[in-house]
Structure 1
Amino acid sequence: MKGVVYRDTHEKAWRHLVDLQAQVRDHVAVLGLLLIIDEAEGYAFLRSRPDDEGDYDGLPRLIPRRSLSFHVSLLLALLRKRLAEFDARGAETRLMLSRSQIVEMLALFLPDGSNEARLVNQVDAHINKVVELGFLRRVTGQDDLFEVRRILKAFVDGQWLAGLEEGLASYMGEMSGNTEETQ
């Protein structure tokens, strides 16, 4: 399992994984990994065991941690919020967003500039990174339409959002401190 297994795109692997999940959990536990299966949302993935579990001291980290830029983290938080709002409405199962909707969401948090083309290029780079991470998927045949993948709910949870909020607060504190020094 390298990456995420989705029920809708990996049907055979999904069936095997659900049927053999106890054996898979035992197998990956030896490697210091946890199997996470969300049958309701239709995805499964491996996660490193928390560092506070002492039985796995000294094992190398098999799943790398990725440091995200501020704007990519912000985009993930905005997408998660949009997904929660979409789920609250309960009409459909797949959240689809156009590139222009994503640009509009993120543009509110980017510095004002006169060069709109540069702004769109920056947002496109952030979108591409989120696609690369697997939280957005381009809709086949429509390059400007994206599906927000439900795996986002597993990674952007309340704890992650609280950490982002703390980071934003310290960032805002530094920014306000810097402006006072220059005055």
Structure 2
Amino acid sequence: MKNENPSSAPDNASLGVVAVHLMKGVVYRDQNPAVWQQLEELHGPVLDYVRVMGLDLILDEAEGYAFLRQLDDDAEDAPEQTKMPRLVARRPLSFPVSLLCVLLRKKMVEQDASGGDARLILTREQIVEMMRVFLPDRANEARLFDQIDTHINKVSEFGFLKKLAGNPPAWEVRRIIKALVDADWLADFNDKLKVYRDHAETLV
């Protein structure tokens, strides 16, 4: 029997391609323009598709990124068998990784306010200088650099930093970090930094 709606097959195929890319992680417009175009064209169907699985589609056209987020289950007293299994794992952030994310977000706010380049690129030394005042063992330079390298790699795994080719090494701060460190975080940024400083002093 022939398909009475042959045009639906390519759409379904495209929907599958977009959904798989989103399941694998963040989709960036500059890194995958073909998938991004499909995502824009199929925004509604993609949203309907992922919500069946208890997910929400976050798409920021201005910044050029999209990702999936687990929908909160407000019905905490609902029977266990009716609750949607979690597809997107929660990733608890350690103190240093949380600190680095906040500092990177603050740096982005400062650059945006100054009207500078839309891309925020930092060297390893710049990141170290941002973090060292908040971390213990500041007198041990080699150990401090090793610790911060570990934190940088972890933030890179989360997709908030992109390592650039070249020497010395440098990283681009991906603008998706705005989705993690939102306005509520920045509103009490000074309080958070005080807590971080106090935390560091107790470990010295």
In the superposition, the TM-score normalised over structure 1's length comes to 0.85
Question: Paired residue for 1:44, among 36, 61, 66?
Answer: 66
Deviations 1:77-101 (A, max 9, x none): 0000000111111221110001100
Is 35-44 or 45-54 further displaced after alignment?
Answer: 45-54
Q: Tell me the distance in 2 between the aligned counterparts of 1:166 and 1:53.
A: 31
Q: CA deviation at 1:141?
A: 3.3
The count of residues paired between Structure 1 and Structure 2 equals 175
Structure 2: which amino acid aligns with 1:25?
L
1:22 and 2:67 aligned = no
Give structure 1 regions of 4+ aligned residues with deviation exceeding 6 angstroms.
53-56
Q: Tell me the distance in 1 between the aligned counterparts of 2:27 and 2:175.
A: 12
- In the other structure, the counterpart of 2:3 is none
Q: How does 1:10-159 map to 2 (within 5 A)?
A: 10-52=32-74, 58-142=83-167, 144-159=169-184
Q: Tell me the distance in 2 between the aligned counterparts of 1:57 and 1:88.
A: 47
Q: Tell me the distance in 1 between the aligned counterparts of 2:133 and 2:84.
A: 43
Structure 2: gaps of 5 or more residues: 1-21
**Larger Rg: 1 or 2?**
2
Q: Say which SS state the counterpart of residue 108 (structure 1) adopts.
A: helix
Structure 1 residues 170 and 114, CA gap change in structure 2 (3 angstroms): closer
Q: Tell me the distance in 1 between the aligned counterparts of 2:197 and 2:114.
A: 34
Structure 1: gaps of 5 or more residues: 177-183
Q: Tell me the distance in 2 between the aligned counterparts of 1:93 and 1:53.
A: 41
- Give RMSD over aligned pairs: 2.8
Structure 1 residues 53 and 46, CA gap change in structure 2 (3 angstroms): farther
Q: CA deviation at 1:156?
A: 1.0
Q: Tell me the distance in 2 between the aligned counterparts of 1:154 and 1:7.
A: 16
Q: Say which SS state the counterpart of residue 102 (structure 2) adopts.
A: helix
Structure 1 residues 159 and 57, CA gap change in structure 2 (3 angstroms): farther
Query: 2:99 touches 2:196 (CA, 8 Å); kept in 1?
Result: no
Q: Tell me the distance in 1 between the aligned counterparts of 2:182 and 2:42.
A: 27
Q: Say which SS state the counterpart of residue 96 (structure 1) adopts.
A: strand
Structure 1 residues 142 and 36, CA gap change in structure 2 (3 angstroms): farther
In the superposition, the TM-score normalised over structure 2's length comes to 0.77
